[in-house]
Amino acid sequence: MRSTVYTEWTKLRTVPSSAWLLIGTVVSTVALGSLITASVNTDFCPSPVECFEDTPKLSLTGVYLGQLTVVVLAVLAMTNEYGTRMIQTTLSLAPRRYRVLSAKAIVVTAVVLVAATVGVLGSLLVGRLILPRNGFTPLHGYPPLSLGDGPTLRAAAGTVLYFGLIALLSLGVGAIVRDTAGAITTVVSLLYVLPIVAQFVPDPDVRKFLLEYAPMSAGLTIQVTVGVDLLPMRPWAGIGVLACWASAAMIAGFALFRYRDA
């Protein structure tokens, strides 16, 4: 297994797009989070203490953009070999297919978690610098962002985990679809289109179910630190829902990868 993991790591790091996508994950996460954080201030609230802004979640909103590069990276890790027909060479050298897909999952998830950690820490640092200038000060009930604060730590760690689960979901879909454009479209639809479509479902119970259990809306409840008791599901339960999506994709991917012709 170790040699298979090393082989997959070699493949990933020697593809130029991998490094750029990981850099893009960090940059886009920090940049979008910075822009959105800078655009929010206390001027439009009745008073600064009545803004009730969730500052950790605000600082981490860059995940909405950063996850796109993670989707592309994870999908390409699987579908690139089908596009170049290198998958036949890979399977001739490592005929135990479950090891190949497991190795891909380990490598992709590991590099994504590293990039996500840098992006999340960078977002919180920028938020810590910007928020006081916009009126979010300790005097108004907004302490500086710190990982020493339990809810902020949970939001930060959960966001890193969210990125890792998105990578596994995307890799699984890549193994199912085996086509780069088709797999990316499928994952992006699950993340962004499903919540939009759910808004137009006439049955309120079905609409509520779809909105609560869509992978992105469920997973990102982990970022909420204000009004947690009002959420339809607890933050870690939301991450659990996303983990179920990722697990389902990987299980289906393993089954098809094992029994389908290369």
pLDDT in tens, 52-85: 888 899 999 999 999 999 999 999 988 887 666 6
Please give the pLDDT value at position 27. 96
Residue 252, pLDDT score = 92
Per-residue model confidence (pLDDT) at position 30 = 96
The reported pLDDT for the residue numbered 195 is 83
Cite the DSSP H helix spans in 15-54.
Answer: 16-38
pLDDT above 70 (res 89): no
Is the pLDDT higher at 140 or at 120? Answer: 120
- The average confidence (pLDDT) of the chain is 86
Q: What is the share, in percent, of the chain residues with pLDDT greater than 70?
A: 92
pLDDT tens digits for range 201-246 = 877 888 888 888 889 999 999 999 888 887 778 889 999 999 999 9
Least-confidence region, from 14-23, 91-100, 250-259: 91-100
CA distance 74 to 164: 10
The yes-or-no verdict on residue 1 having pLDDT over 80 is no
Per-residue pLDDT tens over the stretch 146-187: 888 889 999 999 999 999 999 999 999 998 988 889 999 999
Instruction: Tell me: pLDDT of 123 over 90.
Output: yes
User: Which stretches within 60-203 are classed as H helix?
Assistant: 63-84, 86-93, 97-130, 150-177, 180-188, 194-198
Q: Is the pTM of this model over 0.85?
A: yes
Q: How far is CA 156 from CA 43, 63, 125, in A?
A: 27, 11, 11
DSSP state of 193: I
Judge whether residue 261 has pLDDT over 70.
no
110 vs 125: CA distance, rounded Å? 23
Higher pLDDT, 130 or 201: 130
pLDDT at 143 (0 to 100): 86
The confidence score (pLDDT) of residue 221 equals 93
167 with 108: CB under 8 angstroms?
yes
Distance (Å) of CA 139 to CA 4, 37, 49, 56, 136: 55, 19, 9, 17, 8
